[in-house]
Structure 1
Amino acid sequence: MNSGHPASDGDWKRCGLSHDRIFGHVLSLELWLCLLTLIVWHVPSHPQTLKAGEAQVSRAGVLQKPDVLTAANAEANEALNSKTHSSASSAESLIHRDAIRQTVGVLASDALEGRQAGSRGGQAAAAYLVTELKKTALEPAGTFQWYQEFGNNCRNILAKKTGSDPALREEVILLGAHFDHVGYGNVNNSRGGVGQIHNGADDNASGTSLLLSMARALDAHPPLRRTVIIAFWDSEENGLIGSTHWVNSGLVRTDRIRAVINTDMVGRLRNDTIKVQGWRSMAGFREILARANQSSKLRIKFDDTVNSDSDHWPFYSRRIPALQVDTELHEDYHRPTDDADRIDFEGIERISRWIFRAVLTLGNQDTIPAFRNEVLQESQRGVQYVTPLAATPPRLGLTWKNEPAEQGEIVIDYVRPGSAATLAGIEVGERIISFGPFTELNTQRLKSLVVTAPPVVPVTLRKPDGTQREVTLHLAGSAIRVGVATRSDPAMPHVVGVTDVIPFSPAAAAGLVPGDWIYQVAGQPVGSIQKWRQTADQMTEPTELEVENMGQLRKVIVTPILFSGSSGS
């Protein structure tokens, strides 16, 4: 991830640094590639992801091959060797933590000296990625086969899988990640340890390993209707130079790019939480991401702001729907301590598979909405998601003892002057035996009944002397059928957002909370907010809602409380 801003004219010269000036001598690329074959077996394993049968790391740091591969590893290796098209699930199995661990280990090795753009380590990293891409059936998509060169010694690496639909194959889904880092660091880009190798395991060997796994999975999957481009960007750390160069080069017309997903620093998954910026740039982006997340079970932090510090920005700023995905900064950012032994490889696997499923949707759905120009203002002023409901006057005007009800009866301990209870003649010490048609009361049940009751309700009371009497309550306000305040959002068509929940209402009992998004009612899309409100007002039986919060879908049952002859909303 870039620590500054998009490049100025002077930044472009950094790709022309001489190897002789940086290292004092030139190491041939062929010899460097030979070293890479040795690096592969010096990849440290994440201690939290080791299981029986997996490779173990010796004290010398050398990866020991296990006698017996785990079932998961065997599955991944078998899939890697297969060139036949497979189902989405088997293609997804290519996205495996062992392959990710290997890629990160190569790119974050000391031998690559921090992969500074234009350096011998950066070029060796590029050569390694091309070697891996050549093992697939993906097509080169650069100006010179796999490469798009710029500056002096800098190069983007580009591959594609052409779409299958003659009407849609000219449209492009672009997946990007930068593979360069800051080398030995300098006063402008290092947060400590200038002169030491900055391996950049998280920034951004993690995103690069994700992208390479995606390339393998897409290779094994039947072509999508749209074309998918895989872009490994160079010189991001110098100011987004590689991605900006590609956008400006005209290799692909920008009006054909339907969506961009950029991954930068995805190797430190904490509390299962991944951050996504740019989701408001396309209507429906959030729902695609949420539905793709059902098996990964990530907690997606949908950020309304959009920063300019990574390779999504050259696309977003040109009004192309673009996502930036990361696990956020940490104390090792741009320090020599950003090493492979601190990477959560299982986390990258989960994130990769989630993005892969989202790409399948983007690549195959009939249409993709255009860029939402409104997002340029929304990302600056923020979006109001939680709007508390205006306070409503107490409907009943009494309180009762906060203790278990005796024989289903509620004991009244206070009656507010001027309330519906006072006007009905209810007195302290009396017990509520029934409320409308409902008996066997408890405190939680009575609170829900008061919220959902029609304006006129018969109530049966038991006096302290044991005699019973019936009174008629004329409750303040109106009945609540569901009990939520909702809003529409142009970035979320056919969905309504929950901004507040009335305590003790059916919505509260179902577990709805502010910040929820209601996607479906009884298996059907919600539609407009007007349609939702009509549905809620007319709800007369238990109804299943599909709800999303932080990218996780769940089903809840809202059970309205019906009073005989009531017409509350």
Structure 2
Amino acid sequence: MKKLILVFALIGLTSCKKESIPQVTMKDDVTFLASDDLQGRETGTAGELKAAHYIKDRFASLGVSPKGNAGTYFQTFTFAPKKDPHGEVRFRESGNDSLITGTNVIGYIDHKAPNTIVIGAHYDHLGMGGEGSLYREGEAIHNGADDNASGVAVLLQLAQKLQTESYKGNNYLFIAFSGEEMGLLGSNYFTKNATIPLSEINYMINMDMVGRLNEEKALAIHGVGTSPSWNQTVFAANTSFQLAEHKSGVGPSDHTSFYLNDIPVLHLFTGQHDDYHKPGDDSEKLNYEGMQLIEDYILAIVTELDNNGKLAFTKTKDESTAVPSFKVGLGVVPDYLFSGKGMRIDGVSEGRAAQNAGLEKGDIVVKMGDSTVVDMMSYMRALSAFDVGDETTIVVDRKGEQLHKEIVFVKD
């Protein structure tokens, strides 16, 4: 708690003396945003609003201008919670006690340039659990340090760095999105009610779960097919990472809302882990040196493109529409950073089919029944052929040895 008080004191000091910018670190930001005091930052709760005011105060302390509604840093939106989990959320006018209000926090650096780069990261999380949580032992605070206090912390550091003379080729709009966990609500609302013309947006960089860079320094980067400029740029700017590139501009995070408005996007992601959407996603588990590398990487990308004018946009294949439906699951977390042949397992759920068959984290599924598995899509196609109660043989590569495991499929 003393650490949190110190962070607020530094912010308050700057509001009195603007030229003295406090040296608030990424760890300071994550420690506050992922503290128990914020109760998991669920959209529309007091805890999320505390986080919104914290981010607003950090923007102000850095000299970043407000670019929300009516001269403030805030852009609020109101919606009714979904009764049908597959239904679409509809935004409403406020005034009804049953509605929920989310709050985007928006700051702006105006370099008087013709185009603006959007830097985004959602700051909401799952509160005490509920829908979306993978925790099965009742209510508990889901602090969401990696998901996504990590992205917000990097965003705030970028808001300080991008004010300098070196980055004046574009303006910069920083958006901490609300409502991402409920269905990309904050970014959806922003693109429908943008506080700058969408035609002025050059490209959008999204950070969602960038706090767990592994020893191999594997970094997934999505959206590289959304502009012909990306493919060369993301590799030219890279000096640190093993990149796993994905072309599609559509995915389960806020960059999708911008891609659907014909804006080039990149989404950076350091991968799933055992604490994903569980109470164990805490601030002390983050790789802050890795987050610094990601900040440096984004600055290098911006530098590479600074004098290139507005990027051309290209549509990509919507990989989500090609995903087959399936009635069963293995009970594993795929390793989305794996770029070899097969589907590597990054986590095994307790009491599910994979654990019962003796599958382990690190195993690479290379065959399922009669189907060869070469990537995530072929894995899902193979899985879609089975029904509840079916039995088959799965072949996995475990440290170079091929093992045959008998598995009984259960309902996903």
Shorter-chain TM-score tier:
0.5 to 0.7
Describe the superposition over 1:326-367 as per-residue Cα deviations: whole angstroms up to 9, x where unpaired. 0111111100011111100100011111112212333x2132
Equivalent position to 2:106, from 158, 170, 187: 158
3-state secondary structure, aligned to 2:176: strand
Confirm whether residue 109 of structure 1 aligns to residue 57 of structure 2.
Answer: no
Structure with the greater alpha carbon radius of gyration: 1
Where do residues 9-408 of structure 1 align in structure 2 (5 Å cutoff)? Answer: 39=4, 99-144=25-70, 145-151=72-78, 152-164=100-112, 169-221=113-165, 224-270=168-214, 271-294=216-239, 297-362=240-305, 364-373=306-315, 375-376=316-317
Where do residues 502-521 of structure 1 align in structure 2 (5 Å cutoff)? Answer: none
- The CA distance in 2 between the partners of 1:204 and 1:40, in whole Å, is 22
Whichever residue aligns with residue 361 of structure 1, its letter is E
Shift of 1:225: 2.1
CA contact (8 A) 2:123 2:178 kept: yes
CA contact (8 A) 1:320 1:371 kept: yes
3-state secondary structure, aligned to 1:279: coil
- The CA distance in 1 between the partners of 2:191 and 2:110, in whole Å, is 19
- The CA distance in 2 between the partners of 1:82 and 1:289, in whole Å, is 35
3-state secondary structure, aligned to 1:274: strand
Shift of 1:310: 0.3
CA contact (8 A) 2:225 2:246 kept: no
- The CA distance in 2 between the partners of 1:236 and 1:133, in whole Å, is 21
- What's the TM-score, normalizing by structure 2? 0.65
- The CA distance in 2 between the partners of 1:223 and 1:367, in whole Å, is 13
Q: In the alignment, what sits opposite 2:349?
A: none
- The CA distance in 2 between the partners of 1:369 and 1:147, in whole Å, is 28
Whichever residue aligns with residue 233 of structure 2, its letter is I
| Distance change (3 Å), C-alpha of 1:180 and 1:221 | farther
Shift of 1:172: 1.4
- The CA distance in 2 between the partners of 1:345 and 1:188, in whole Å, is 26
| Distance change (3 Å), C-alpha of 1:316 and 1:101 | same
Describe the superposition over 1:13-38 as per-residue Cα deviations: whole angstroms up to 9, x where unpaired. xxxxxxxxxxxxxxxxxxxxxx7x75
- The CA distance in 2 between the partners of 1:377 and 1:185, in whole Å, is 30
Where do residues 418-433 of structure 1 align in structure 2 (5 Å cutoff)? Answer: none
Structure 1: tracts of 5 or more residues without a match: 1-34, 43-80, 85-90, 387-569
- The CA distance in 1 between the partners of 2:161 and 2:19, in whole Å, is 11
- The CA distance in 1 between the partners of 2:276 and 2:60, in whole Å, is 32
- The CA distance in 2 between the partners of 1:334 and 1:378, in whole Å, is 23
Whichever residue aligns with residue 206 of structure 2, its letter is N
Describe the superposition over 1:480-522 as per-residue Cα deviations: whole angstroms up to 9, x where unpaired. xxxxxxxxxxxxxxxxxxxxxxxxxxxxxxxxxxxxxxxxxxx
Structure 2: tracts of 5 or more residues without a match: 8-16, 79-99, 324-338, 341-412
CA contact (8 A) 1:210 1:348 kept: yes
Q: In the alignment, what sits opposite 1:498?
A: none
Q: Kindly tell me the number of residue pairs found equivalent between the two proteins.
A: 293
Q: In the alignment, what sits opposite 2:384?
A: none
| Distance change (3 Å), C-alpha of 1:139 and 1:253 | same
Shift of 1:210: 0.6
Describe the superposition over 1:36-90 as per-residue Cα deviations: whole angstroms up to 9, x where unpaired. x752569xxxxxxxxxxxxxxxxxxxxxxxxxxxxxxxxxxxxxx9959xxxxxx
Shift of 1:379: 8.8
| Distance change (3 Å), C-alpha of 1:377 and 1:112 | closer
Shift of 1:251: 2.0
3-state secondary structure, aligned to 1:232: strand
| Distance change (3 Å), C-alpha of 1:376 and 1:119 | same
3-state secondary structure, aligned to 2:75: strand
- The CA distance in 2 between the partners of 1:290 and 1:133, in whole Å, is 31
Whichever residue aligns with residue 311 of structure 1, its letter is D
- The CA distance in 2 between the partners of 1:244 and 1:180, in whole Å, is 15
| Distance change (3 Å), C-alpha of 1:178 and 1:194 | farther
Whichever residue aligns with residue 307 of structure 2, its letter is Q
Shift of 1:378: 8.3
- The CA distance in 2 between the partners of 1:193 and 1:41, in whole Å, is 34
CA contact (8 A) 1:40 1:106 kept: no
Give the RMSD, CA atoms, in angstroms.
2.9
- The CA distance in 2 between the partners of 1:259 and 1:377, in whole Å, is 19
Whichever residue aligns with residue 108 of structure 2, its letter is K
Shift of 1:188: 4.0
Q: In the alignment, what sits opposite 2:366?
A: none
CA contact (8 A) 2:126 2:132 kept: no
CA contact (8 A) 1:114 1:121 kept: yes
CA contact (8 A) 2:111 2:169 kept: yes
